[in-house]
Amino acid sequence: MSTDAKQALQIANRRRWRRTVVRHSILIGWGLIIMFPIFWMIQTSFKDAHEWVTWPPHWVPQDPTLKNYEQIFTFDVQQSGVAREATEQPFNIWGAVADSLIICTTSALIALFMGAFLAYGISRFNVGGGKFRHSVLIIRMIPPIVIAIPLLMYYAIMVPLASETVLGFRLSLFDTQFGMSLLYITITLPFVIWMMLSFIDEVPYTLEHAARIMGAGRLYTLRRVVLPLVASGMVVTFLFVFILNWAEFLLSLTLTHPDVSTLPVLLNKFQSASEGRLYGPQAAIGTVITIPVVVLGVLIQKHLIKGFSFGTIRK
């Protein structure tokens, strides 16, 4: 090899290496920016009150404590004496964990079930006409705050009144798991339809035709052919909707109190007259409610990759 060629190769190599370094630096920098709040939340959750707000900041807890976790996990806060004297904070998270789990799981499952069938109808039979699939997401154009107050009217006044007149007893949707689930189903259904449409559209018609000619009915074909092929997509959709509900704050804040409380609303309740926001317990709750999302994500990673890379079905 001539020295010229060698030099050219070296320059090319160096250039490629430099490009790699730049690219990775940018990614790492970006990663740090993204991860920092999570890091801060986690480390705050191990700090006692005097370390929550300090200057200069304590990058790591100087005397780490599990007090925050003890508080949010303790069943009977007052008796076991972990509540801070000054705050008399009476809350633990167990009630909200149950509420959140029940509301988010049932609503995501029901929305997924309904949405999958609706999407099938739209994909295969053009239900609602040709443009319907594009108008499904219109609900996203309405900010939640706009519907929060009207919904409160329905949940707290109209429905109880109507049920009392018609059925003879008061049925209130306000501050109930049922009411919250109903609401979450309604607002996430468009997402489910939209996502499931993209998966079901991927399943070739001829697979269903083949099944039909072999004598299979619609439901049998759906169960044995279509649904198994979009299973990954259903898992992804479920997860997406579950997280959406798991983190929903505004509507839950408006439509519950005092019996039912989802985790984000509960987190917000951790403040006291004397100390203001209780950053420690709030960070602990934040950490705790992030864990199931991460765990779910890891567990279904295989499906996530398959589901998010849409063109999954080999023809």
Partner 1 sequence: MAQIGLKEVVKKFGDFVAVNGVSLDVHDGEFLILVGPSGCGKTTTLNMISGLESPTSGEIIIGNRVVNDIEPGERGLGMVFQDLALFPHMTVFENIAFGLRVKKTLEPDIDRQVRAAAEAMHILPLLGKRPAQCSGGESQRVALARTIVNDPSVFLMDEPLSSLDAKLRVDMRTELKALHERLNATFVYVTHDQAEAMTMADRIVVMNGGLVEQIGGPLDIYDKPASRFVAGFFGTPTMNFLQGEIVAANGALTFQCEHIEHFLAENTPDSLAGKQVILGVRSEHVVVNSGGQQGQVKLIEPLGDVSLVFFESGGQEQLVAKVAPELRFSSGDQLTFGFQAAKCHLFDFDSGTRLN
Give SS3 for 151: helix
Residue 225 as a binder of partner 1 (CB under 8 A): the answer is yes
Residue 93 CB burial class (10 angstroms; 0-12, 13-18, ≥19): buried
**By the 8 A CB rule, do 193 and 112 touch?**
no
Compare residues 258 and 311 and give the one whose CB is closer to partner 1. Answer: 311
The number of CA neighbours under 13 Å toward the Cβ of 134 is 3
Residue 206 as a binder of partner 1 (CB under 8 A): the answer is yes
CB of 70 to partner 1, least distance (A): 48
Alpha helices in the chain (DSSP H): 3-44, 49-52, 67-73, 77-80, 94-125, 132-135, 144-153, 159-166, 177-202, 205-213, 218-221, 227-229, 231-246, 250-255, 263-269, 279-299, 301-308
Compare residues 3 and 206 and give the one whose CB is closer to partner 1. Answer: 206
What's the CA gap between 266 and 89, in Å, rounded?
12
Q: Give me the 59-98 binding string for partner 1, x by CB under 8 A, dash otherwise.
A: ----------------------------------------
Residues that bind partner 1 (rule: CB under 8 A) add up to a total of 20
Compare residues 81 and 215 and give the one whose CB is closer to partner 1. Answer: 215
With CB under 8 A as the contact rule, the residue among 6, 209, 257, 277 that binds partner 1 is 209
With CB under 8 A as the contact rule, the residue among 1, 131, 168, 315 that binds partner 1 is 315
Instruction: Classify 47 in phi/psi space as left (phi over 0), alpha (psi -120 to 50) or beta.
Output: beta
Name the one range near partner 1 by CB under 8 A: 9-17, 189-197, 220-228, 293-301: 220-228
Residue 34 CB neighbours (<10 A): 9
With CB under 8 A as the contact rule, the residue among 141, 214, 219, 298 that binds partner 1 is 214
CB of 312 to partner 1, least distance (A): 9
Residue 253 as a binder of partner 1 (CB under 8 A): the answer is no
Compare residues 221 and 245 and give the one whose CB is closer to partner 1. Answer: 221
What's the CA gap between 296 and 184, in Å, rounded?
20
Residue 279 CB neighbours (<10 A): 22
CB of 214 to partner 1, least distance (A): 4
With CB under 8 A as the contact rule, the residue among 215, 219, 273, 291 that binds partner 1 is 215
Q: Which residues bind partner 1 (CB under 8 A)?
A: 204, 206-207, 209-217, 220, 224-225, 228-229, 313-315
